[in-house]
Amino acid sequence: MLTRQSLLRVVTKQQHYQQNALLLGISRAYSQKVSLFHSNKRWISMYNAKEAHGNVLPNPSLNTKKQGISLSVAAFLAAGCFVGWLVERRRNIKYTLDASGEGIEIDAGISPYPTSINAREGMLGTTYTLLGCGVRYISVATFRLYALGIYVASNETSKIVNSLRETMKKNPEVYPVDANLKEYEIVENYLKDPSKNVLLIDNLMNTQIKLLAKLTPLRNTDFTHFRKGIVKAVNKHPEASKHREEIDKGFEEVDQVFTRKGTLAKDDDLYLELKPNGSMEISTLRRKNDSYEKICTIQNPIIGKLMFSQYMCGPNAPSQMAKDAVAASIVDLFKDEKAN
């Protein structure tokens, strides 16, 4: 099993503390401004009264203003520190195996993610093994949108090792070898580097490897949202600007074939299956009645290639958690190869 026990972590519910902290800082700053306004207003009134008698009062708001600024800055810094802590905590969210030992518990509101998905008649034609999973957030705040799992065809894990090894060998100027490190340590370092991992994963996409993305809404949503998500993921790929014309043609196909309307309920699954020819088949699994349905196939290979690559590399992956988990599993493949 690629997803080892050491990689499994407990997912805890996160409240919107960050938003509250930011609001606290804003309201604190606003209240100080209001206090300063009233303080100055009172001082002006008193000044006008005393000026007629030749007595000028010192402005008491000068010290108050300094205190107000200090409190506002302190509140802002506290909110910023809390946001930083929250983001770091989100990166370190952990998983656990479910009671059966065959699934990963990502969120209490959805079914565990299986460590393998077996081929079923009328459903996926290949048995897949989990590389990594995580949660998609739509902002810095802890707004959880959907869970994401990346799977590889169980009989094609060797393609990952061979492809990355070949890319590093053919590009020594990009991937210099440190003789003091083991191979898996070198791979781990390059997979963590957004400037290095894009070429590794993009070349992997050219090996006709079979991959599967499993997306599970954490709240009721609609197909339009997922269609927009595909477009957004492709556009955010670091190499998207180099393939603009081809991508635009692919988007035209997405609009033509991905026309499904309606909702996708919480805990339903949307499958995106990358085929050897580069096409991407989209299907759903309705949890309520266990019904599987194929929605469409996007034939243009640029869409599936860049979308899966964006899930697995680069600086702006839809789920940093899933990307890091995939990288850890790839490193494990190199470790396991040396151990055998």
Q: Are 49 and 147 found together in one domain?
A: no
Q: What pLDDT does residue 68 have?
A: 53
Same domain, 101 and 84: no
Residue ending a domain, among 49, 74, 90, is 90
164 in the same domain as 130: yes
Rg of the chain over all Cα atoms, to the nearest angstrom: 27
- Summarised one tens digit per residue, pLDDT across range 281-292 is 999 999 988 899
Q: Which residues make Cβ contacts (< 8 Å) with residue 251, sequence separation at least 6?
A: 231, 234, 303
**pLDDT average, residue stretch 164-173:** 97
How many domains, in total, are found in the chain?
A: 2
pLDDT for 139 equals: 63
Q: 310: pLDDT confidence band, cut at 50, 70 and 90? A: very high
Q: Which residue type, as a one-letter code, is found at position 236? A: K
For the chain, how long is the longest CA-to-CA vector? 98
Cα 152 to chain centroid distance, Å, stands at 19
Q: Any idea what the CATH number is for the domain that residue 198 is in?
A: 3.50.70.10
Provide the whole-model pTM.
0.74
Dihedral of the CA atoms 267, 271, 272, 277 (nearest 10)? 170
Is the per-residue pLDDT at 221 higher than 80? Answer: yes
With respect to residue 263, please indicate whether it lies within any of the assigned structural domains: yes
Q: Scanning the structure block, which residue is given the tokens 């699994």?
A: 285
Q: Indicate the average pLDDT of the chain.
A: 79
Check whether residue 173 and residue 280 sit in a common domain: yes
- Mean pLDDT within 129-142: 81
- State whether 83 and 101 are in the same domain: no
Q: Which of 90, 122, 144 is the last residue of a domain?
A: 90
- pLDDT tops 80 at residue 198: yes
C-alpha–C-alpha distance, residues 189 and 239, integer Å: 21
Mean pLDDT of 288-310: 95
pLDDT at 10: 32
**pLDDT for 33 beyond 60:** no
Residue range of the domain that includes 50: 17-90
Give residue-wise pLDDT tens across range 46-79: 444 544 455 544 555 445 555 555 555 555 555 4
The residue among 182 and 290 whose pLDDT is bigger is 182
The residues near 271 (Cβ < 8 Å, ≥ 6 apart) are: 124, 212, 213, 214, 215, 281, 282, 283, 284, 285
Give one DSSP letter per residue of 273-289, joined into a string. EE-TTS-EEEEEEETTT
As a whole number, mean pLDDT of residues 100-119 equals 87
Judgement on whether residues 189 and 296 belong to the same structural domain of the protein: yes
